[in-house]
Structure 1
Amino acid sequence: MIFDTITDKIIVTAKDYEMPFSKGLLARSLTTAGMKPSEAYIFARGIEADLNTDSLKRISKYELRQRVYYSLISDDYEDIADKYLIWRRILKKHSVIILVGGSSGVGTSTIAFELASRLGISSVIGTDSIREVMRRSISKDVVPMLYESSYTAWRALRNYDEEDDELYIQGFLRHVEPVLLGIEGIIDRCLTEGTSVIIEGTHILPGMISDKYHNIPNVIFLTLTLSSENVHKKRFIARAKVSDRPLERYLENFEIIKDINKYIVKDSNSHLVPVIENVSISDTVQECLEIVTNKFNTLDKEEGGEMEEII
């Protein structure tokens, strides 16, 4: 974990503000560009040492970024250097809205918070929280599926047939539908206000979210999955040890959860949403960052981003 160590010797100045140089903030920027956290912190510490060697008390943010960029180049981090500049332009121009979907237990919450830490995004919202808010304003008599879990929503269907192969998916879709209103409302507000957010949870189903969001460059969809039943079950066991979530309920409904997982993956593939196998948290975070960076790299080129804008 990167701690935000701040020196009281060097002040970074900008047009409208000034602040102490922070190795932690610089390291976070570098991990966003794809550098390993351990390497990023060592590199940031090296930058601080160079500034102290030059006896600098104040440096503009543009001069600092120039030093960082050329230091990356000289240390054979050319790819990281380019991505570092891309992210500086991105965060200056755009809000970043990332939707992380996946069935229960695949790790959407963990990955969302890791991404938020790397990208410096302060707001992470779980779709379960959105559902809970909607429960306070919508009666169970009106939308009974809202009061069930994604894997038990089929019980709230009227006149259901337990022999129906699509029963559990029908319940899941009816469960997702009302929550999407809240998800889309949050996206709209962030786009209007220019704020960044990561929304995570089972209710993020690409095929049910309005097409207009799929065509907005800074709204990025990611889907997590676990193909191994053994690993998936172990995630529930691990989560039960640190929370009040009932392990038995998840394991009893595991076959339904597995069917929902397959449906989400199929839906994501059909809508060209990246599907990431979340076995290793560090590998998943790195892959997600790569997808997000490549998406914004394309946007940056389309907008004619130039190095001089940042250096």
Structure 2
Amino acid sequence: MTQSRHAEPLPLGDNGLPYSKGLMARALITTGLSTERAYELARRIELDLDQRGMRSIELDRVQELAVEVLGVDDGTAAIGRLRRFGDLQKLELPIILLVGGSTGTGKSTVATEAAYRLGITRVTSTDFVRGTMRAFFSEEFMPAIHHSSFEAGARLKDAGREDAPDYVVRGFLEQTRNVLVGVRASMERALQEGWSIVLEGVHLVPGMLPRAIEGALVVQCVLAVEDEQEHAGHFFVRDAASDGVRALDKYLEGLGEIRQIQDFIVERARKLGVPVIENEDMERTLGEVMELVLEGAERVQRVEP
């Protein structure tokens, strides 16, 4: 039987295995604790076990130590999240996490890290789907997919006309409808195999994909960068990280169109109740994404017989 994700029990040293400081720190980081504080608590747990000559620890004792190390409020909150994460690991349904947002909002970084924290090994982007489709369908047959999302509108006949200011969004939506055919196929394959999957991309427009699928936990969010200068800065960071693989000038020149698409996606998300996360700080953003997954799992578990 295919495993939907690599779910591990809380690393308390149960089932004959000794306590692992590294695994505990990773679990704590997954719940939103900073790396420094997570390792500080994990080391304190290790010391406690050594002093008592034990190989495993109870979660109640972990909470006592968390309060000692982190303080009452932070310690209680951290272990509360750890308990919830343990419950999530018991969830037998596959998870489909959809991370949308305009170009340059940090979707791929957030999606990859969220997948790691959730134990999900399958991560794909709608741009990868678009690239695959582009190899099979000529520009003459399906022109919209042969351009970047923010450039797709430029090929429309009324592009740039004052009486057609929405051509950027219309071109983007035409491309989105094409790309989502492949995205839906990816989701259907994952469900057939019982896989969990993280999908990220500009084409995950709220309302154009189902937010609830029988037999799966679907969690959707949209990332945004409100400040235009900060948004532009993301492209400089990405350019440096990729050694210039992606043409920086192209994105900076298209920033106005990229921002138009962001405004459209964010407005649509808010109308439909899809969470919009302002991606100012990566750790905080990841914490919010993880919280959405935990909340979704709790809703599913409450209705299970």
Q: TM-score range by the shorter chain?
A: 0.7 to 0.9
How many angstroms does 1:193 deviate by? Answer: 2.9
Equivalent residue number for residue 126 of structure 2: 127
The alignment's TM-score, normalised by the length of structure 2, stands at 0.83
- The alignment of Structure 1 onto Structure 2 pairs a total of residues equal to 283
CA RMSD of aligned residues (A): 2.5
Q: Does 1:188 align with 2:188?
A: yes
Query: Could you tell which deviates more after superposition, 228-237 or 195-204?
Result: 195-204
Amino acid at match of 2:81: K
Aligned equivalent of 1:87, options 85, 88, 97: 85
CA distance in 1, matches of 2:205, 2:29: 28
How many angstroms does 1:240 deviate by? Answer: 1.6
How many angstroms does 1:230 deviate by? Answer: 0.7
CA distance in 1, matches of 2:14, 2:41: 21
How many angstroms does 1:89 deviate by? Answer: 2.4
Distance change (3 Å), C-alpha of 1:43 and 1:189: farther
Aligned counterparts, 1:96-245, within 5 A: 96-157=95-156, 159-163=157-161, 164-210=164-210, 212-213=212-213, 218-243=217-242, 244-245=245-246
Amino acid at match of 2:101: G
Equivalent residue number for residue 290 of structure 2: 289
Amino acid at match of 2:290: L
CA distance in 1, matches of 2:26, 2:125: 23
Identity of aligned residues (%): 33
Distance change (3 Å), C-alpha of 1:285 and 1:134: same
Q: Which has the higher strand share?
A: 1
CA distance in 2, matches of 1:194, 1:53: 44
The alignment's TM-score, normalised by the length of structure 1, stands at 0.81
Amino acid at match of 1:189: R
Equivalent residue number for residue 4 of structure 1: none
How many angstroms does 1:12 deviate by? Answer: 4.8
How many angstroms does 1:13 deviate by? Answer: 5.8
How many angstroms does 1:151 deviate by? Answer: 0.7
Equivalent residue number for residue 63 of structure 2: 72
Aligned equivalent of 1:38, options 36, 39, 58: 36
Q: Does 1:299 align with 2:300?
A: yes
Distance change (3 Å), C-alpha of 1:186 and 1:12: farther
Extract unaligned runs of 5+ from structure 2: 1-10
CA distance in 2, matches of 1:35, 1:155: 45
Distance change (3 Å), C-alpha of 1:24 and 1:198: farther
CA distance in 2, matches of 1:210, 1:148: 26
CA distance in 1, matches of 2:215, 2:258: 30
Amino acid at match of 1:285: L
Once the two structures are superposed, residues 52-109 of structure 1 have per-residue CA deviations (whole angstroms, 9 ceiling, x without a partner) of 334446x5xxxx5xx1343225524333333322222222223222111111111111
